[in-house]
């Protein structure tokens, strides 16, 4: 099975293979959710375990767009890879939030790490179709959304709880979200509702 192959080989993956493997695992998870036959779906634990291994591999490789490996210069390709990883992990978190599939791995999937995860980038950056378009969009990001001061999912939760408004930084992010960012906002509301009902 593909999941077993990924589990066995992911420790050797480079950044591109790691992102591709995690995206494949996300697709398998979505397909699994659409299947009603329990005999076919009895591999949730190995699937989640493999996803966690791939996520760990991604963090070991330090997939990000800090530019530290390119002399401080941000590459469009590196940024796309990092943003793709971020968005894939967010999809997996949202699926788990809705279907509570990670109960057996609660120590690794308790949302603590997700609260520190950077929110998805602005629409104009994500939809850039060339290096020049990307560079222009990235360089004109509002203050507070640059590399040194990212907003996190935790910031969004605080904003929705009225604990911390996030000020102008969060307002800027909210005004520039794409459809995926809207999904993240909906997930934050759902997460808050679930946490309130558990109290």
Burial 22-35 (b: 16+ CB within 10 A, else e): bbbbbebbeebeee
pLDDT at 158 over 50: yes
Supply the DSSP string of 143-156, one letter for each residue: TTSSTTS--BHHHH
Q: What percent of the chain has pLDDT over 70?
A: 74
pTM score, whole prediction: 0.81
Higher-confidence position of 127 and 95: 127
Top mean-pLDDT range of 65-69, 121-125, 150-154, 166-170: 121-125
pLDDT at 166 over 70: no
Tokens 């941000």, located at residue = 74
Rounded CA-CA distance 28/22 in Å is 10
How high is the pLDDT of residue 47?
A: 84
pLDDT at 195 over 60: no
Helix residue spans in 146-199 (DSSP H): 153-160, 167-175, 179-198
pLDDT-derived band at 146, boundaries 50, 70, 90: very low
Rounded CA-CA distance 6/166 in Å is 39
The structure tokens listed for 136 are 């222009």
Domain boundary assignment for the chain: 1-104, 111-199
pLDDT-derived band at 196, boundaries 50, 70, 90: low
How high is the pLDDT of residue 145?
A: 46
The structure tokens listed for 67 are 């530019």
pLDDT-derived band at 150, boundaries 50, 70, 90: confident
């Amino acid at each position: 099975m593909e999941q077993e192959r990924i589990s066995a080989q992911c420790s050797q993956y480079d950044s591109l293979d790691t992102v591709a493997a995690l995206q494949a695992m996300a697709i398998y998870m979505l397909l699994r959710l659409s299947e009603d036959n329990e005999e076919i779906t009895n591999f949730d634990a190995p699937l989640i375990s493999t996803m966690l291994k791939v996520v760990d591999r991604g963090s070991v490789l330090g997939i990000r767009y800090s530019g530290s490996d390119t002399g401080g210069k941000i590459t469009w390709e590196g940024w796309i890879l990092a943003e793709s990883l971020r968005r894939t992990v967010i999809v997996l978190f949202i699926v788990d939030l809705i279907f509570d599939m990670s109960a057996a791995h609660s120590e690794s999937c308790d949302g603590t790490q997700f609260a520190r995860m950077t929110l998805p980038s602005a629409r104009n950056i994500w939809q850039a179709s060339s290096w020049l378009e990307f560079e222009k969009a990235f360089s004109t990001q509002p203050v507070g959304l640059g590399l040194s001061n990212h907003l996190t999912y935790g910031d969004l939760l605080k904003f929705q709880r009225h604990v911390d408004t996030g000020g102008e930084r969060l307002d800027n992010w909210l005004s520039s979200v794409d459809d995926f960012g809207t999904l993240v906002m909906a997930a934050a509301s759902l997460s808050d509702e679930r946490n309130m009902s558990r109290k």
